[in-house]
């Protein structure tokens, strides 16, 4: 089969050059929910099938498609590809899904095409291990991993926290809200964008079959969402119904959806109450040198703020805050300062320390950094410790705190 026919079959001409030239990803062994070991990875089989087609090896591609649907009988994309391959034995197939005939519902066929495109593109566009996600600048030492969701790629990346450095571990295909991202209100069928945390797990008899084998809750709406009047609740990372292997890229009511097998593997990377989840429209990956520089900038902001808190000088403290500041209780800067920080003025012998600091570039906002930390204060023999979260926004050439709250 000629290369042009392969491109038409995929319906993704722009993708062809990259996946045809890329080496086949080595097959992975997984343990699916049923407990059978050494099941082939479905995405590895997909890329291998189209490699065989490029090499005009139709029989080999057919054998792999047969194995794919046998291993994953609920994988609709696999069945559609197998149908195309069966038809190719007798006639050319000029579009993905041509093997199902003209009576196939157009919307369902588009969903399957979109899923196949997203899966193949992600395998060939996987970020280099030499790069780091710009949104994640610093994790606490007890945060083993961070989950980074790229809505545009329909992908969830897992990064390990290895002595303060981020190491790429694996990635998974995901579905998102039917109407995309930037959730604003209850029922808008959009997935939120922001920095969140896994706060709970629901499984077993308490979980309807629609959500799959398990569901991991995130803390939407977070402080920034509430400050911007975003509403809604019940956003999860969850699986698929028992009769469904996977869902199209745009398919949920706002949750992030994985296959049940992938969700089971992902749960091993998650610590309830600790694991951050960054959800972005498109994840930006940067060099390690740029990542180090951006982390240093954020650290400098925090160090300067802490130093000026220790000075107990009102003017020095307030220079870090925006005139647009709102507290977690909705107070303006003057009201909040009088309530929370006025007591520090004229304190003698105050010393401060920051610990357990996390730093993120807020997704979709080049001009925002969110920091979470423990502020320890010591006045004489009186020691106090509180946990805070701050949202810093760039105003002109200066960074200012626009929101701060206790957590």
DSSP letter string, 64-106: HHHHHHHH-TT-HHHHHHHHHHHHHTTS---STTGGG-TTS-H
Alpha helical stretches, state H, 132-248: 223-227
pLDDT at res. 99: 66
The backbone torsions φ and ψ at residue 261, rounded to the nearest 5 degrees and listed phi first, read: -65, -45
Spell out the per-residue pLDDT of the chain, length 407, in tens.
Answer: 344 343 334 433 223 223 222 333 333 333 333 444 578 889 889 889 988 988 999 999 999 999 999 999 999 999 989 988 998 988 888 777 776 655 678 888 899 999 999 998 877 788 999 999 999 999 999 999 999 999 999 999 999 999 999 999 999 999 999 999 999 999 999 999 999 999 999 998 899 999 999 999 999 999 999 999 999 999 999 999 999 999 999 999 999 999 999 999 999 999 999 999 999 999 999 999 999 999 999 999 999 999 999 998 899 999 999 999 999 999 999 999 988 887 777 788 899 999 999 999 999 888 999 999 999 999 888 899 999 999 999 999 999 999 999 99
CA distance 245 to 355: 43
Task: Say which residue the tokens 């610590």 belong to.
Answer: 271
CA distance 67 to 78: 10
| Tokens standing for residue 301 | 């902001």
| Tokens standing for residue 147 | 């989950």
- Element spanning 353, H or E: strand 350-361
Name the DSSP class of 283. Answer: -
Which residues, including other chains, have CB under 8 Å from residue 20's CB and lie 6 or more apart?
Answer: 3, 6, 51, 54
Query: How far from 189 is each of 199, 201, 213, 247, 249, CA to CA, in Å?
Result: 21, 22, 22, 15, 13
pLDDT at res. 106: 84
- Long-range contact list for 157-160, CB < 8 A, 24+ apart? 157/127, 157/133, 157/283, 158/266, 158/269, 159/132, 159/133
The backbone torsions φ and ψ at residue 205, rounded to the nearest 5 degrees and listed phi first, read: -65, -20
CA distance 40 to 27: 7
**pTM assigned to the model:** 0.88
| Tokens standing for residue 363 | 């997704």
149 DSSP β-pair partners: 156, 279
Query: How far from 310 is each of 338, 340, 356, CA to CA, in Å?
Result: 17, 15, 19
């Amino acid at each position: 089969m000629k290369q042009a026919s392969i491109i038409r079959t995929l319906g993704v001409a722009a993708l062809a050059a990259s996946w045809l030239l890329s080496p086949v990803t080595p097959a992975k062994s997984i343990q699916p929910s049923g407990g059978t070991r050494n099941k082939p990875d479905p995405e590895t089989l997909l890329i291998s099938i189209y490699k065989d087609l490029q090499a005009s090896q139709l029989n080999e591609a057919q054998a792999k498609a047969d194995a794919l649907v046998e291993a994953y009988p609920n994988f609709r994309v696999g069945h559609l590809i197998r149908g195309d391959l069966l038809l190719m034995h007798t006639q050319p197939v000029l579009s993905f899904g041509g093997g199902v005939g003209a009576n196939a519902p157009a919307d369902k066929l588009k969903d399957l095409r979109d899923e196949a495109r997203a899966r193949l593109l992600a395998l060939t566009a996987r970020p280099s291990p030499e790069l780091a996600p710009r949104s994640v600048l610093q994790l606490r030492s007890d945060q083993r991993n961070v989950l980074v969701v790229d809505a545009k790629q329909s992908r969830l990346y897992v990064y390990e926290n290895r002595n303060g450095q981020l190491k790429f571990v694996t990635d998974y295909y995901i579905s998102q809200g039917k109407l995309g991202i930037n959730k604003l209100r209850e029922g808008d069928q959009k997935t939120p964008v922001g920095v969140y945390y896994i706060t709970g797990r629901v499984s077993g008899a308490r979980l309807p079959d629609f959500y799959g084998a398990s569901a991991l809750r995130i803390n939407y709406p977070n402080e920034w969402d509430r400050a911007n009047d975003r509403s809604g609740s019940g956003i999860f990372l969850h699986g698929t119904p028992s009769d469904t292997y996977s869902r199209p890229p745009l398919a949920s009511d706002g949750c992030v959806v994985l296959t049940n097998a992938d969700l089971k593997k992902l749960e091993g990377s998650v610590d309830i109450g600790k694991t951050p989840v960054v959800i972005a429209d498109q994840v930006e990956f940067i060099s390690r040198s740029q990542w180090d520089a951006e982390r240093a900038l954020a650290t400098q902001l925090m160090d300067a703020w802490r130093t000026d808190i220790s000075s107990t000088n009102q003017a020095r403290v307030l220079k870090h805050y925006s005139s647009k500041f709102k507290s977690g209780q909705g107070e303006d800067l003057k009201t909040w300062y009088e309530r929370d920080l006025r007591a520090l003025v004229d304190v003698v012998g105050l010393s401060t320390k920051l610990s357990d600091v996390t730093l993120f570039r807020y997704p979709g906002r080049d001009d925002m950094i969110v920091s979470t930390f423990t502020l320890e204060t010591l006045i004489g023999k009186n020691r106090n410790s509180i946990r805070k979260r701050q949202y810093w926004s760039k105003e002109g050439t200066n960074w200012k705190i626009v929101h701060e709250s206790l957590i």
